Each structure stands twice: as C-alpha cells, then as structure tokens.
Chain A
Amino acid sequence: EDQVTQSPEALRLQEGESSSLNCSYTVSGLRGLFWYRQDPGKGPEFLFTLYSAGEEKEKERLKATLTKKESFLHITAPKPEDSATYLCAVAKAAGNKLTFGGGTRVLVKP
C-alpha cells in the first residue's frame, strides 16, 4: 500500500532561520511527487511537481528536492508569511489519485 510520511509534524522557526521538511514515501511506480502549501481553512496551493531522483525546483525561499525514497522542502531565510502547513503527495500514474502525507505545520516568528 502506498504510504507518505512527513516529518516533523510541526516546526517553529525564527524569522531568517533556515530549515528542511522531510517527506518519505513508499510507492511502486512513482509518477510524480507534489508539494502544496495550505493556509488554515483554505484549499492547498500548488508549489512544485518533481518527477525523477536528483530533480530540484525553486520558488522564492522554497527549494524542493527528490531522491528515490524521499523529498525535502528547504525553506531559506523564512519570513512570517511562510507560516502554513506544507503537504507532500505522490501519484502513481498520469492523473492518478494523490496520496497525501499528514503535513508539516510551520510557524515562523518575527
């Protein structure tokens, strides 16, 4: 059965304190790994899609990387507006269902 595990469950950072979020997955025939950001009470907002080991994507202070068993979301010099829950999901085939991890709640204090 496909499994996605995110760690840590919660992360408290000072503004400017860089850190990494982990997403480990067990899935046969990975099609893609997706990162989303979700603010309280809102729908997930798409960040990145990664397809193959070694691939990296960047957007502002966020950088996502992928290996054969896990993905990392690096937050460089975070700001309070980066506070959110970050969700990782995998898909096995084109357009297939997304299997999500439980998310990492990030709080960045000024």
Chain B
Amino acid sequence: DAGVTQSPTHLIKTRGQQVTLRCSPKSGHDTVSWYQQALGQGPQFIFQYYEEEERQRGNFPDRFSGHQFPNYSSELNVNALLLGDSALYLCASREGGRDTQYFGPGTRLTVL
C-alpha cells in the first residue's frame, strides 16, 4: 500500500517565477492538506481540499492556490515566487471522518 507521494523531490526557481507541486494521497484517503515548513521550524498550514473544494485556508497570500482532482490527487501552485517561499512543502492526506493525517516526503523548493 503506497503512502502519500509528492513530486518533484527538489525544485530550484528564481524570484518572480511560478511553480506547481503535486501530491497523490494514500490509498483510501479523500482529504488533502498542504503545509509549508521553513528550516528549523514546525510546518505551517496552507490549505485543505475535500471534494475538489478548498475547505479551510491558513494565513497565506493569494499567490498560493491549489486544486484537487476527481482521483483525490492535488496540486499546489505558487505565483510570483519570493525568496521567503524557499521551504519544504508537505502534503498530508487523511481518510474522511478520521483525524490522523499522514505526510508525504515533501518537495524542497529553493528560490534564488
């Protein structure tokens, strides 16, 4: 049983560019959340998707947007990249009605 998968593993972009990160949830999971983790800090909640809709959003600007597909996979898009967007981006999934979220390996984004 595959766990949560994310792609790509690493990504290097320059300021002002746009980036798309992808996530496939654990089998049987229908809810996907995205988190940003700066070096040496705990993850910060970006948003959560369920039934292809954004259900909850953290304190992140509109430059951060997302999408969930009918197969429950999800994308995180970040526009107009800033140096401060450099971080590990984590995707987590959970089964509807259950509390525990399971995390993927993350995508390391570096903005130069």
Q: In the complex, A99→B33 CA distance in Å?
A: 12
Chain B residues with CB under 8 A of A95: 31, 48, 50, 94, 96-99
B65 proximal to A (CB < 8 A): no
Partner of A43, one of B48, B97, B104: B104
Interface size class of A (residues with CB under 8 A): 20 to 34
The minimal Cβ–Cβ distance linking B47 to chain A, given in whole angstroms, is 9
Given the contacts A41-B108, A44-B43, A87-B42, A96 and B102 also touching, CB distance less than 8 Å = no
B41: nearest chain-A partner, CB-CB = A102
Interface of chain B residues 55 through 96 with chain A (CB within 8 A): 56, 58, 88, 90, 92, 94, 96
The minimal Cβ–Cβ distance linking B89 to chain A, given in whole angstroms, is 10
The minimal Cβ–Cβ distance linking A2 to chain B, given in whole angstroms, is 10
A22 proximal to B (CB < 8 A): no
Interface of chain B residues 11 through 36 with chain A (CB within 8 A): 31, 33, 35
Closest 4 CB pairs of A and B: A100-B42, A43-B103, A97-B45, A44-B103
| 13 examples of A-B residue contacts, CB within 8 angstroms | A31-B99, A32-B99, A34-B101, A41-B88, A42-B105, A42-B106, A43-B105, A89-B43, A95-B48, A97-B48, A97-B58, A98-B101, A99-B45
